[in-house]
């Protein structure tokens, strides 16, 4: 198909199901967790996408995710090629990339950091449209009352990712003084 966007795909197996990776020459374009599947070849064609075999495009994300699911803090500073998202959504995703491994922040604290006090719901909506979960670690964002909040791939995945990073799911926070009280770390025994 002439003029189609070339996209490479790969997947890795995890304890909770497959994770698929979509990448272009420009960088990581999409991640799907478990039951969220990559578009079929037919759906891709309808979207103007041509699947190609380019392991060099998907290998950086595949290796980082394999480390992540092995319980090692990975280098997830992968180059992104996101074709979706409003300016606000992209700002939210970029700010969320700075939430450190094993830490939490709230939707409200992230909104304040972005200069949108009272914008917790807008931040949550933007994170719900995040095309690259884990790399943009929206699972590390919870409600201000310490409840878990939502996740586009389901709460089972969010709990799994938080437990993987934190060794527990307890969301009882204490302020992380290095983040100006906006981001918090769990109390560890």
Is the pLDDT assigned to residue 177 strictly greater than 80? Answer: no
Instruction: Give the residue-averaged pLDDT of 148-170.
Output: 87
56 plus 91 within the same structural domain: no
Q: Do the domain assignments include residue 114? A: yes
31 plus 107 within the same structural domain: no
Rounded to whole angstroms, the Cα distance separating 104 from 106 reads 7
Rounded to whole angstroms, the Cα distance separating 107 from 121 reads 7
What residues contact residue 173 under an 8 Å CB cut-off, 6+ apart? 104, 146, 184, 185, 186, 187
Q: Any catalytic annotation for residue 138?
A: yes
Q: Tokens at residue 42, please?
A: 């037919």
Residue 108: alpha-carbon gap to chain centroid: 18
pLDDT in tens, 98-134: 999 989 999 999 999 999 999 999 999 999 999 999 9
Is the pLDDT assigned to residue 150 strictly greater than 80? Answer: yes
91 plus 65 within the same structural domain: no
53 plus 134 within the same structural domain: no
What is the per-residue pLDDT for 184? 46
Is the pLDDT assigned to residue 176 strictly greater than 60? Answer: no
Last residue of a domain, one of 40, 69, 98: 69
Q: Tokens at residue 123, please?
A: 């931040």
Residue percentage of the chain with pLDDT more than 90: 62
- Residue-number span of the structural domain to which 129 is assigned: 87-186
Confidence of residue 160 (pLDDT cuts 50, 70, 90): very high
105 plus 172 within the same structural domain: yes
Which listed residue (95, 99, 138, 164) is catalytic?
Answer: 138
What is the per-residue pLDDT for 40? 79
For 106-159, the DSSP string reads EHHHHHHHTT-TT-HHHHHHHHHT-SSBTTB-GGGEE-TTS-----TT-HHHHH
91 plus 173 within the same structural domain: yes
For the full predicted model, state whether its pTM sits above 0.75: yes
Q: Do the domain assignments include residue 122? A: yes
């Amino acid at each position: 198909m002439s003029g189609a966007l070339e996209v490479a795909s790969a997947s890795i197996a995890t304890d909770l199901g497959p994770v698929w990776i979509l990448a272009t020459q420009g960088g990581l374009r999409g991640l799907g967790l478990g039951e969220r599947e990559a578009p079929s070849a037919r759906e891709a064609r309808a979207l103007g996408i041509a699947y190609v075999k380019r392991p060099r495009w998907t290998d950086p994300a595949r290796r980082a995710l394999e480390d992540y699911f092995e319980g090692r803090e990975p280098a997830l500073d992968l180059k992104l090629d996101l074709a979706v998202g409003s300016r606000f959504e992209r700002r939210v995703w970029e700010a969320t990339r700075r939430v450190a491994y094993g830490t939490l922040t709230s939707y409200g604290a992230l909104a304040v950091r972005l200069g949108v006090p009272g914008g917790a719901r807008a931040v949550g909506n933007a994170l719900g449209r995040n095309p690259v979960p884990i790399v943009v670690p929206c699972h590390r964002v919870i409600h201000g009352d310490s409840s878990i909040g939502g996740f586009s791939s389901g709460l089972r995945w969010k709990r799994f990712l938080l437990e993987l990073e934190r060794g527990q799911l307890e969301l009882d926070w204490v302020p992380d003084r290095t983040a100006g009280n906006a981001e918090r770390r769990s109390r560890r025994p």
